[in-house]
Chain A
Amino acid sequence: MSMYDQLLQFLIAGISIGSIYAVMGLGFMIVYSVTRVMNFAQGEFAMLGGMLSTVFYAKGLPLSFSILCAVLITTAFGMFLHRAVIYPIRTAPVFTLVLVTFGASIAIRGISLIIWGTDFRILPPFSKLGAIHLAQAVINIQALWVIGTTLLMAIVLFLFFEYTVPGKAFRASSINALGASLMGIKTERMGSIAFGLAAGLGALAGAVVTPMMTTSSEIGLGLAIKGFIAAIIGGLNRIEGIIVGGLTLGILEAFGAGLIHSGFKDVIPLLIFLVVLNFRRGGLLGDAEAGKI
């Protein structure tokens, strides 16, 4: 296997994991834009998506239906999380709210451990085709599902914000909450919708990556941190920025792990984080004013 093939393999791995980071980042962005809260329970949404899919699938439901149920339940849970936990303390300082989301992530993980234990679970690959060979590099078909699903989510999100009335109401709330409420937009509902949307996207991402990487009660925090970094380095306010941020993170991580040492997998994202914040405060593609989608 030549160096070219190796690099190609790393690139493919980087793009597939980068897509997941991008979706996590989008989840952070959606919630932040309306509520000004960095929701660190975002990773747990991905965990719930994966775990619930495996639970339903194990009960005999068809794969696509299991994932659909998992996504819907997680979406509802996300909305509940906002209404029951965040909304009542919405006037507290932002730092407090962030800590509360951290607490929520720990609670969710704890409950998952009690219900489903420490076992890791897996879903079958979505299609039986196996793999594509590109020179000596191998592309797992499931990786294409991951990348494709991410692209689809990004496009749908873009169309939602740009061309639908609820989407525009959402953007209005993120720009100026007071002004939006004066125009008749219920901002508390926007918060729940934001959480629900972020939860649903996260759940779908969690489910689609499970056949490749398994899922367990513990995967949430790692994904949340990488998603947070992807969101920050992409500039917190633009979909395309976060996609670029997530992919960049994934690719650099894969190259670092591949060319230097696999132990660098967790070090590299944090190093990139420090470097980007040092040189471009607003992230790679963002501007100083976060909040405008």
Chain B
Amino acid sequence: MKNRKGLSKVLFFLLLVGLLLTPCGTAFSQPPYKIGYTNCHSGWLGFMGSAWRDGFLLGVEEINAAGGINGHKLNVVLYDDESDVAKGVLAFKKLIDTDKVLMITGQNQSGVAIACAPIAEQSKVPYLGIGASRWIVAKPGKWQLPADPTEVFDYVAKFRVDAQTHVEAMYAFAKKRLGVKKFAWVNSSTAFGMNCKEIMQATYKLAGLELSAMEEYGTNDSDMTSQLTRIKAKDFDAIIIYSSDPAGALVYKQAREMGITKPIIADAPMVATPILKTLGQYLEGLYVCVHAPDVPDLNLLPKNVQPMVPVINKVRKGVMEKYNHRADWINAYGYDGARMVADALRRAAPDPTKLEEARAKIRQALMSTKGFVGAYAMGDVTATHELRVPVVMIRLGKGQKFELAE
């Protein structure tokens, strides 16, 4: 008799302890926030997508290590679209219909992002786009270069990394510093490249420049002889290579091999870590329009972007510790992506069990982002649902050393 009573007491005590210990097992007191992320981690744009993912996941890790967003863990559903537009659209739809995420971010490849923006709008899912083309935010037909889009989607926001700010910086630099009057233009034949060509055609005359030649190449091309030969036959003061793929670096290399000595200007992807690692030694003398996190010595940055310095340093430290290589602007971009998502979720404070309501709240918070200080972008989300990314002109010196060119 005595034993049975004692036994049940012990069991009751154990049950009590068990119940008390259960909450201590999980660090997050609230249900997780599930967001979707799809990007090109392999394929021709894989070098960019995987670098963006690395920065993004670093940001997510930091957020969760600090207790999540108001006690909610940030859970990411991740897909690789292999740089294939069809696969990218399918992944996007899957995130909405099957995974039922609160919001989606990702898609460096403009072609995929442009296709998915209307889907986000229709399904009322907030989408933080990261691809370059402004057609991601602009409703079809509602954007006439060189002005801003006149009508934008309600549910789509993006970082303003489009070619317009970059080419305008390039024109100003070429005219002022290099004395350029006529230039030859090379772009890749992707959606991004074609969009950049449109932007160039709409803006170069306003800058007082003349266009000597326009050439294109495929992202998997490795022989640029025909294009460079045609450029050589014309009269030009400089070449602008607007490229987001390794083939662009080959254009520079082969241009120099073919005896072209005039200045050549390219865009930020040329200083991405994989390209510098493989082709960096052939890129000496290239002028590049880069972003703040690319400049190794942050003291050289203009005053207005100095607030970004501590965040850039944080990313550099984090990327070196986690991935053991120097952080580039794409890692910083991905990191900002995570922080912007977290910032919107924090202000929206949605209830993850009420999907439609949560998505609407997140959309509202995303579009009213103010005073964001990132490692790559900074400022307020504008009326066109974009967040500005500052640019700097540099020159690649010997041993891939960055020299401030402006």
| Residues of A bordering B, CB below 8 Å | 1-2, 5-6, 9-10, 12-13, 17, 113, 117-122, 130-131, 133, 136, 138, 140, 212-214, 218-219, 222, 254, 257-258, 261-263, 265-266
For residue B277, which residue of chain A has the nearest CB? A119
For residue A257, which residue of chain B has the nearest CB? B226
In the complex, whether B148 has a CB less than 8 A from a CB of chain A is: no
A33 to chain B, nearest CB (A): 30
A13 touches B250 (CB 8 A): no
B225 touches A214 (CB 8 A): no
A254 touches B274 (CB 8 A): no
Return 16 A-B CB contacts under 8 Å, by A number.
Answer: A2-B233, A9-B229, A13-B225, A118-B46, A119-B274, A122-B278, A122-B279, A131-B258, A133-B259, A140-B257, A214-B279, A218-B44, A258-B229, A262-B215, A262-B217, A263-B189
A222 touches B233 (CB 8 A): no
Given A6-B229, A263-B218, check contact A213 B223 (CB 8 Å).
yes
B368 to chain A, nearest CB (A): 38
A119 to chain B, nearest CB (A): 5
Contacts of A122 in B (CB 8 A): 278-279
Residues 38 to 80 of chain B near chain A (Cβ within 8 Å): 42-44, 46-47, 50
A131 touches B257 (CB 8 A): yes
For residue A255, which residue of chain B has the nearest CB? B226
B245 to chain A, nearest CB (A): 10
In the complex, whether B369 has a CB less than 8 A from a CB of chain A is: no
Residues 197 to 240 of chain B near chain A (Cβ within 8 Å): 215-218, 220-223, 225-227, 229-230, 232-233
CA distance A218 to B46 in the complex (A): 12
Pick from A118, A136, A140, A212: contact of B42, CB below 8 A. Answer: A118
Chain B 236-249: CB-based contact to A (< 8 A → 1; otherwise 0)? 00000000001000
Contacts of B233 in A (CB 8 A): 1-2, 5-6
CA distance A148 to B368 in the complex (A): 64
A6 touches B230 (CB 8 A): yes
CA distance A119 to B272 in the complex (A): 12
CA distance A119 to B46 in the complex (A): 8
CA distance A213 to B222 in the complex (A): 5
CA distance A203 to B194 in the complex (A): 36
Residues 248 to 284 of chain B near chain A (Cβ within 8 Å): 250, 257-259, 274, 277-279
CA distance A17 to B215 in the complex (A): 21
A263 touches B225 (CB 8 A): no
A13 touches B46 (CB 8 A): no
CA distance A117 to B42 in the complex (A): 8
Contacts of B259 in A (CB 8 A): 131, 133, 138
B225 touches A10 (CB 8 A): yes
Contacts of A218 in B (CB 8 A): 44, 220
CA distance A152 to B249 in the complex (A): 32
4 tightest Cβ-Cβ pairs between the two chains A and B: A213-B222, A118-B46, A258-B226, A13-B225
For residue B228, which residue of chain A has the nearest CB? A9
Pick from A12, A136, A212, A258: contact of B230, CB below 8 A. Answer: A258
CA distance A136 to B220 in the complex (A): 28
CA distance A9 to B215 in the complex (A): 17
Contacts of A2 in B (CB 8 A): 233
